[in-house]
């Protein structure tokens, strides 16, 4: 029997990043479905699908989490 589990879905924790390093950079973390509603402005954009995290990484994700 073969079981198929998707690698990610609408509730997967992600980070959206736009124009990293510039004065108007934007970094937002949250479930993939909530990032759809965030206005990241003009390009360049990057979507990061978060995997297992270290407690220090988790703390930084909380800093950028959608409220």
CA dist 27 → 4, 21, 34, 44 (Å): 32, 11, 14, 12
Residue 21 lies in a domain: yes
Q: Above 90 in pLDDT, residue 1? A: no
Residue 42 forms part of a structural domain: yes
Parent domain of 59 = 13-64
pLDDT reading at 4 higher than 90: no
Q: Does residue 2 sit within a domain?
A: no
Helices of type H across the chain? 32-35, 55-64
pLDDT (0 to 100) of residue 7: 84
Indicate whether 8 belongs to any domain. Answer: no
pTM above 0.75, yes or no: yes
What is d(CA 47, CA 2) in angstroms, rounded to the nearest whole number? 30
The verdict on residue 7 lying in a domain is: no
pLDDT by residue (tens digit) across 8-58?
Answer: 899 999 999 999 999 999 999 999 999 999 999 999 999 999 999 999 999
For residue 59, tell me if it sits in a domain.
Answer: yes
How many distinct structural domains can be found in the chain? 1
- Residue 33 covered by a domain: yes
Residue 62 scores a pLDDT above 80: yes
Query: Residue 42 in contact with residue 24, Cβ under 8 Å?
Result: no
């Amino acid at each position: 029997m073969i079981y198929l589990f998707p690698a990610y879905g609408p509730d997967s924790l992600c980070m959206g990043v736009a124009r990293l390093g510039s004065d108007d950079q934007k970094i937002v973390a949250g479930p993939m479905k909530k990032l759809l509603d965030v206005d990241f402005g003009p390009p360049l954009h990057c979507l990061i699908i978060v995997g297992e995290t270290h407690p220090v990484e988790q703390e930084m994700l909380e800093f950028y989490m959608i409220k």
